[in-house]
Amino acid sequence: MRKVVLLFAAIAPIVAVALYRFGVISALAPIFVSHLLILYAGLVPNSSWWGPIARCFATTEREVWLTIDDGPSPAHTLQILDLLDRYSARATFFVIGARAEKYPHLITEIIIRGHELANHTFTHPSHRFWASGPRATAAEIDRCASQLRSAPDRPARFFRAPAGLKNPFLHPTLRQRNLQLIGWTARGLDTVLRNPQRVAARISRRVRPGAIILLHEGHRATSAPAFNLECIESTLRELTAAEYRFVIPQPPQLRVTGDGR
């Protein structure tokens, strides 16, 4: 699909010129459709049009993968680690490189407590990442990776795009660095919703064995400092009651869709 979208974008102006004699609307139609395809590929979070994305993992057990984005955060990370201990849960923290640089002790603590770090860009440029060029894309990933390498752990294997937005240069950049793009099966919409029980209920409805769960930390730290923690705890409580275990899958277990061709 990647090649189809790029090829159509390349020939759309030529088609537009050829159609101009039928009127302006006819001429603009291929340009419009081409832009629509590019926007879909970049802006629809779990789209695999630009390249492969993992949205769940293979398992025969009642297992799920809890992923927590946007940390580390002094307001939440340590308390999240305590919650994970209480529920014997393991999780992957998709951290923002600039925050990892600022709070290295939290990065160390995540590793010591048996969890995993993953790359979520250096500055989390959620408004412009979908339109970033190759150099800016690589810089965001590499600057975050350099922060994670300074942590006492192996290099991160996974990447999640800020707000799930992708650009055409992302997948070649990830491939060169042996990073896998991770989407999700169930997100709590905890950056939008206000009620932790609704967030957990939304996740519970979408969860099945092998689901990837997306939650956040470090949000509303001043206005509602307990909110992210309550969302995570409600989710841990509900899914533990439903006999799910929280694990970190190995890369071969990931169910990857899209081949980037």
C-alpha dihedral over 152, 156, 159, 162, to 10 degrees? 20
Q: Where are the beta strands (DSSP E) in 44-157?
A: 53-57, 63-69, 91-95, 116-119
Please, which residue, 2 or 124, has the CB nearer to Zn ion?
A: 124
Q: To the nearest whole angstrom, how small is the minimum distance from the Cβ of residue 171 to Zn ion?
A: 19
d(CA 160, CA 215) in angstroms, rounded, equals: 12
The number of helix segments (H) and strand segments (E) in the chain equals 9, 10
According to the binding rule CB under 5 A, does residue 190 interact with Zn ion? no
Please, which residue, 163 or 201, has the CB nearer to Zn ion?
A: 163
Q: Which of 120, 171, 216, 219 is catalytic?
A: 216
Helix/strand/coil for 36: helix
**Binding segment toward Zn ion, per CB under 5 A, in 24-32, 69-77, 102-110, 203-211:** 69-77
Q: To the nearest whole angstrom, how small is the minimum distance from the Cβ of residue 120 to Zn ion?
A: 6
According to the binding rule CB under 5 A, does residue 69 interact with Zn ion? yes
According to the binding rule CB under 5 A, does residue 140 interact with Zn ion? no
d(CA 21, CA 27) in angstroms, rounded, equals: 8
Confirm whether 124 is a catalytic residue: no
Please, which residue, 124 or 202, has the CB nearer to Zn ion?
A: 124
Q: Which of 69, 70, 115, 171 is catalytic?
A: 69
Please, which residue, 16 or 179, has the CB nearer to Zn ion?
A: 179
Q: Where are the beta strands (DSSP E) in the chain?
A: 53-57, 63-69, 91-95, 116-119, 158-159, 180-181, 186-187, 211-216, 245-246, 254-257
Please, which residue, 37 or 118, has the CB nearer to Zn ion?
A: 118
Q: Which residue in this structure is represented by tokens 């695999």?
A: 48
**Binding segment toward Zn ion, per CB under 5 A, in 65-73, 75-83, 219-227, 233-241:** 65-73
Tell me phi and psi for residue 167, to 5 degrees: -135, 165
According to the binding rule CB under 5 A, does residue 70 interact with Zn ion? yes
Q: Which residue in this structure is represented by tokens 């409805």?
A: 205
Q: To the nearest whole angstrom, how small is the minimum distance from the Cβ of residue 156 to Zn ion?
A: 15
Output the CA–CA distances (angstroms, integers) from residue 60 to 64, 116, 241, in the order listed.
11, 22, 19
Confirm whether 216 is a catalytic residue: yes
**Binding segment toward Zn ion, per CB under 5 A, in 16-24, 39-47, 63-71, 147-155:** 63-71
Question: What residue ranges bind Zn ion (CB under 5 A)?
Answer: 69-70
The residues that are catalytic are 69, 216
